[in-house]
Amino acid sequence: MTTGTVPLNWVKSSYSGSGGTCVEWAPAQAMATGVVPVRDSKRADGPVLSVSVRAFAGLVALARSADL
């Protein structure tokens, strides 16, 4: 999948671990457009959530602070 001229090269979250709950994001798209695509790695052809860089930073901060 591509958006505009930037290919969506997905990167798995370092917080995904081995529990099967994996989140991927596309950092090149975020840098080029300011929009961060996020998806479930188990459903590569599934829906993509697009959030602002600021919102994504908030999600990361929440994940870091949560007792998961």
Kindly indicate the confidence band of residue 14, based on its pLDDT and cuts at 50, 70 and 90.
low
Compare 2 and 26 and report the one with higher pLDDT. Answer: 26
Residue with tokens 């590569």: 44
pLDDT at residue 47 greater than cutoff 90: yes
CA distances from 39 to 21, 47, 58 (A): 11, 7, 16
Spell out the residues 6+ positions from residue 39 whose beta carbon is closer than 8 angstroms to its own: 10, 23, 24, 25, 46, 47, 48, 49
Report the pLDDT value the prediction gives residue 66, as an integer from 0 to 100: 78
**Any idea where the domains of the chain sit in the sequence?**
2-65
Percent of the chain at pLDDT > 70 equals 76
pLDDT at residue number 1: 52
